[in-house]
Amino acid sequence: MLRGVIILGLAMAATGCRGVLAGDRFSKDGLAYRVVVPDDGKGWRRVDFADNDLAWISNDSAHVIAVNATCTGHEDPPLDVLTKHLVIGFTDRDWIDQKAFTLDGRDALRSRVTAKLDGVPAAIELVVVKKNGCVHDFSYISPLGREAVHQPEFDALVAGFAQERAP
């Protein structure tokens, strides 16, 4: 059930547009960035959602990793405000922690929250960074209590992020 709810949530989440993934490089509308793509051999399957640049679902569990970049229409809100926008639609939000760190040479914010989507509990980890007029966000959604299962893949994806070109 959580798998279906997560898919629905991703489909309704952040705004973006389609682009092209070639190897570890994603490009759209003059923007290009790199991420460490989750390994298909470890049970990840790429899925397309109209409102996310990239998303993967675990083949054997209800874990989801998603990436998006928005380069217009966001003005310049602080990272914590941008993070809160990512959990719109979730209820019973409980913010576990938030940590500032540096990602691709810029200030970033990593947040962990538990919440419900359509009554189903989930653990959510979010990373938000602003660079060259774009907001990049990374989401890891897992069944509550099973966050550690695919944490290394999410951490690698985030650590490998590099914006190569801005619009």
Report the distance separating Cα 93 and Cα 117, nearest Å. Answer: 10
pLDDT at 20: 94
Count other C-beta atoms under 10 Å from residue 143's C-beta. 18
Confidence of residue 3 (pLDDT cuts 50, 70, 90): low
User: How many domains does the chain contain in total?
Assistant: 1
pLDDT at 50: 58
pLDDT at 73: 87
Confidence of residue 2 (pLDDT cuts 50, 70, 90): low
> Domain holding 71: CATH number?
3.40.1000.10
Confidence of residue 99 (pLDDT cuts 50, 70, 90): very high
Confidence of residue 130 (pLDDT cuts 50, 70, 90): very high
50 vs 109: which has the higher pLDDT: 109
- pLDDT of residue 14 exceeding 60, the answer is no
How large is the average pLDDT for residues 79-85? 97
**DSSP 3-state of 157:** helix
Q: What is the DSSP letter of 42?
A: G
The boundaries of the domain holding residue 128 are: 2-165
CA proximity to 63, closest of 124, 120, 143, 139: 143
Report the distance separating Cα 24 and Cα 157, nearest Å. Answer: 10
pLDDT tens-place string over residues 23-42: 999 999 999 999 999 987 78
